[in-house]
């Protein structure tokens, strides 16, 4: 893995901050696929249920795959209205890097990179606006930072990702996030350093390295959760129920993601289905194979979303109630 001495020195400046979750009744994890298909929120939910079962606290997965900061801005008002959180944990940035910029030069200084690539100023402006909205709603904000970009992952497996991206872009986002947290009264929790340490110690057999460059493995999500709470806790007997709760939430967010891709001009179910048929038909290679396989299920959801969501909400609430049964 290519990690420069300068990069490690820069990251040593970040202070690891643990978060006391006990004052918060509703915690929303807001982000992209790392949240949507991840497990750190599951571990947080299980930890809260195990350590303080007499005070039910809900951890809600509001991640949608492919999200950027502008995507979070589009749905933040609805999230606030629906969930009414008192704490929002934001994990975002990797898609802003991968899909908006081709990095022709690597390992520039922060100042040089900001001058050369507009993505950094754009990220800071958008993320700052998001924090302002949450602050105005009297919601506590935690920025998790961006996880390491694993340069040693098999490039053949990750051909669809930006081949010019490297860890310097992630480093610069970390600097921006920490600066914004200080300016706007948010908390910054450095997940980069413990995840990087794990990669360096286990790189040859790292589960993430076998899959892709950006998505943490389940074990790495446990590292994220432990970093947030500042504890080396071990998942207990409620983990299975917490997993059921998490899986239902991920399915709810998948439905939300289906609608998130549809343009506002498509109002009716027939128009939305036609949009997806045309969109999937425009794809190529592995993307087409994946989405074409998913298309029948997507069409089924679009035809009757209320029934689908009603069933999912019922399953979610039943799993949550089980977590806090004595």
Which CATH number goes with the domain that contains 143? Answer: 3.40.50.1110
Chain segment 146-166, per-residue pLDDT in tens: 887 765 555 554 455 555 555
At residue 214, the pLDDT reads 75
* pLDDT over threshold 80, residue 140: yes
Domain boundary (180, 205, 238) is at 238
If asked whether residues 150 and 292 sit together in one domain, one would say no
What's the pTM value of the predicted model, to 2 decimals?
A: 0.86
- Give the domain range for residue 310: 241-323
If asked whether residues 148 and 74 sit together in one domain, one would say yes
If asked whether residues 201 and 276 sit together in one domain, one would say no
If asked whether residues 189 and 76 sit together in one domain, one would say yes
Chain segment 207-230, per-residue pLDDT in tens: 444 456 678 888 889 999 999 998
**Two tokens, residue 26:** 């509703």
Adjacent-strand bridge partners of 30: 62, 90
For 88, phi then psi, to 5°, come to: -125, 125
At residue 94, the pLDDT reads 83
Domain boundary (195, 219, 238) is at 238
If asked whether residues 220 and 285 sit together in one domain, one would say no
If asked whether residues 171 and 285 sit together in one domain, one would say no
If asked whether residues 122 and 61 sit together in one domain, one would say yes
* pLDDT over threshold 70, residue 10: no
Element (H, E) at 87: strand 87-91
If asked whether residues 154 and 231 sit together in one domain, one would say yes
**Two tokens, residue 109:** 């200084």
Chain segment 59-87, per-residue pLDDT in tens: 999 999 889 999 999 999 999 999 999 99
What band does 1 get if pLDDT is binned at 50, 70 and 90? very low
More confident site: 106 or 190: 190
Query: What is the chain's mean pLDDT, rounded?
Result: 85
If asked whether residues 220 and 103 sit together in one domain, one would say yes
If asked whether residues 127 and 214 sit together in one domain, one would say yes
What's the rounded Cα separation, in Å, for the pair 107 and 169?
A: 8
Domain boundary (238, 272, 298) is at 238
At residue 4, the pLDDT reads 42
If asked whether residues 214 and 313 sit together in one domain, one would say no
If asked whether residues 161 and 251 sit together in one domain, one would say no
At residue 153, the pLDDT reads 54
The tally of domains found in the chain comes to 2
């Amino acid at each position: 893995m290519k990690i420069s001495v300068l990069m490690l020195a820069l990251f040593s400046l970040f202070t690891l901050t643990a978060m006391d979750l006990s004052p918060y009744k509703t915690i929303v994890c807001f982000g992209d696929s790392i949240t949507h298909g991840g497990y750190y929120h599951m571990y947080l939910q299980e930890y809260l249920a195990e350590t303080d079962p007499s005070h039910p606290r809900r951890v809600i997965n509001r991640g949608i795959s492919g999200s950027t900061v502008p995507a979070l801005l589009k749905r933040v008002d609805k999230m606030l209205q629906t969930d009414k959180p008192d704490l929002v944990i934001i994990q975002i940035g990797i898609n802003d890097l991968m899909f908006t910029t081709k990095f022709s030069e690597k390992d520039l200084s922060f100042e040089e990179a900001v001058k050369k690539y507009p993505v950094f100023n754009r990220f800071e402006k958008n993320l700052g606006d998001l924090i302002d909205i949450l602050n105005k709603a009297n919601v506590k904000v935690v920025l998790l930072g961006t996880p390491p970009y694993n340069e040693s992952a098999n490039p053949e497996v990750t051909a669809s990702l930006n081949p010019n991206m490297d860890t310097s872009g992630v480093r610069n986002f970390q600097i921006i996030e920490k600066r914004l947290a200080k300016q706007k009264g948010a908390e910054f929790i450095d997940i980069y350093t413990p995840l990087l340490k794990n990669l360096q110690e286990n790189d040859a057999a790292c589960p993430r390295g076998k899959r892709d460059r950006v998505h943490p493995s389940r074990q790495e999500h446990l590292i994220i959760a432990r970093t947030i709470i500042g504890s080396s806790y071990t998942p207990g007997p409620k983990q299975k129920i917490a997993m059921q709760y998490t899986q239902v939430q991920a399915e709810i967010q998948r439905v939300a993601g289906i609608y998130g891709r549809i343009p506002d001009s498509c109002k009716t179910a027939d128009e939305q289905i036609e949009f997806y048929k045309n969109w999937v038909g425009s794809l190529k290679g592995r993307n087409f194979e994946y989405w074409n396989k998913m298309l029948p299920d997507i069409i089924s959801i679009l035809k009757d979303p209320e029934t689908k969501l009603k069933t999912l909400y019922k399953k979610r609430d039943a799993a949550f109630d089980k977590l806090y049964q004595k």
